Amino acid sequence: MSGEVIRCKAAVAREAGKPLVIEEVEVAPPQKMEVRLKILFTSLCHTDVYFWEAKGQNPLFPRILGHEAGGIVESVGEGVTELKPGDKVLPVFTGECGECRHCKSEESNMCDLLRINTDRGTMLNDGKSRFSKDGQPIYHFLGTSTFSEYTVVHSGCVAKINPDAPLDKVCVLSCGISTGMGATLNVAKPKKGMTVAVFGLGAVGLAAAEGARIAGASRIIGIDLNESRANEAKKFGVTEFVNPKDHDKPIQEVIAAMTDGGVDRSVECTGNVRAMISAFECVHDGWGVAVLVGVPSKDDEFKTLPINLLNERTLKGTFFGNYKPRTDIPGVVEKYMKKEIEVEKFITHQVGFSDINKAFDLMLKGESLRCIIRMDE
Ligand code: NAD
Ligand code: ZN
Ligand code: ZN
């Protein structure tokens, strides 16, 4: 099929908030520095839901969503030397060109060329889409569009992984689990014995809690509005659960009272700007560090008194837990292969591709952590 158009099934988001429609689409061959992937497993992350709802984000339809996935390289475009057909890969929503100042910096994963761009619906090489139906283009999402049997991505957004890795499990490392763990281990960096608060106990937040457990945190305080997360959270090292609905005071005050003035580190994984502010204000003065991970609505503003920063609190944010996708993710997969990290406990549901809308329902109801979507059904 190399060099030819592929016809395959894709789940197309045609309208904001309306069920995805499984349609036959055409997927053009990869162009310069691009690869075409056969997606075998994908899963749903809350970021897909925000752009499908398009309430707090710019609408762009018709679009093929999806960014957490695992697959096989089907064919490669001109200039691609590091990937070949048959390679087992994880596509990642933020890329690594390997050449820019960010890629050369140890501190950044914000590649100049391939960093996350939520509003772009086309490929960089020619500014056009590789997806179409009846000659009409369908937009890409996050450069990945994994809710399709075949997709085209920039080769810099692809991590080549151990050929023995089970894609139905490690696909969740292509966004949520790496993001949460990395946010704690690479950005918040708690020292052994520190207290850590995690806001939002979905898969991303529970992965952040897992990171805190790995780092040797003494207390991991999980905060969520969904009471049913309390039990689940225990499996991920959360030692105390706080539901803001049970308190009249701002939650940062509740946490300060529990921890003699504040936690040492906090990681926010909700996407709610009020929770982001609480996550910052609940860290201890003098040394506390807060890390924002949740994707806010496009017009949200973060408001706090500057004195909260002057009092020596640090506010940070991260995409993808500061991991560089090509350099670091193969190693994260190796950690799974050596049983140093567990991903199975994040996978609460599985559906066939034709039932992809069920994955959206489960996430919206707060019933799932990760729902794996099997592309062959
Ligand atoms: P999820 O829906 O599974 O989990 C979010 C959790 O937050 C839910 O349990 C929900 O009940 C809770 N929550 C919502 N509002 C809250 C509030 N005000 N206070 C306390 N808890 C609250 O979602 P997810 O897939 O785990 O993603 C979490 C967030 O991380 C989303 O905003 C997503 O867009 C973002 N995200 C960011 C990155 C990144 O690179 N920065 C990567 C992946 C996901
Ligand atoms: Zn994601
Ligand atoms: Zn770069």
Indicate which residue of 36, 67, 102, 326 is catalytic. 67
Quote the CA–CA distance of 312 and 290 in Å, as a whole number: 12
Q: What is the pLDDT of residues 287-315, one digit of tens each?
A: 999 999 999 999 999 999 999 999 999 99
Average pLDDT rounded to a whole number, residues 26-34:
98
Q: Is 111 assigned a catalytic role? A: yes
Q: What's residue 2's pLDDT?
A: 73
Mean per-residue pLDDT, 160-182: 98
Which pLDDT belongs to residue 1? 62
Ligand nearest, relative to CA of residue 66 = 2
Three-class HEC string of 207-276: HHHHHHHHCCCCEEEEECCCCCHHHHHHCCCCCEEECHHHCCCCHHHHHHHHCCCCECEEEECCCCHHHH
Q: Over pLDDT 90: what percentage of the chain?
A: 99
Mean pLDDT of the region 59-71: 98
Mutate to test the pocket of ligand 1, among 53, 204, 282, 346 (most ligand atoms within 8 A of CB): 204
Find the DSSP H helices in the chain: 46-53, 101-104, 167-170, 176-182, 203-214, 229-234, 251-258, 273-281, 306-310, 325-337, 356-364
Band of pLDDT at residue 203, cut at 50, 70 and 90: very high
Ligand positioned closest to the Cα atom of 157: 3
Q: Identify the CA nearest to 292 among candidates 195, 164, 187.
A: 187
Gap from CA of 324 to ligand 3 centroid (Å):
10
Average pLDDT over residues 59-82: 98
Q: Distance (Å, rounded) from C-alpha 220 to C-alpha 203?
A: 16
Where does the pLDDT of residue 187 fall: very low under 50, low under 70, confident under 90, or very high at 90 and above? very high
Place of tokens 């609940």: 282
- Active-site annotation holds for 157: no
Res 377: pLDDT: 81
Q: What residue's CA is closest to ligand 1, atom 10?
A: 200
Cβ(296) – ligand 1 distance below 6 Å? no
Give the pLDDT band (50/70/90) at residue 354: very high
Rounded to an integer, the average pLDDT of 93-100 is 98
Cα separation, 372 vs 278, whole angstroms: 32
Question: What are the tens digits of pLDDT across the range 308-336?
Answer: 999 999 999 999 999 999 999 999 999 99
Pairwise CA distance, residues 97 & 273, whole Å = 31
The predicted-structure confidence for 4-18, as pLDDT tens digits, reads as follows 999 999 999 999 999
| CA 218 – CA 190 distance, rounded (Å) | 10
* Segment 233-285, tens digit of pLDDT: 999 999 999 999 999 999 999 999 999 999 999 999 999 999 999 999 999 99
The mean pLDDT of 62-87, rounded to a whole number, is 98
Which residues share a beta bridge with 158?
A: 91
Q: 331: burial class by Cβ within 10 Å (0-12, 13-18, 19+)? A: exposed
Q: CA 236, CA 211: separation in Å to the nearest integer?
A: 9
Give the model's pLDDT for residue 55.
Answer: 96
Binning pLDDT at 50, 70 and 90, where does residue 347 land? very high
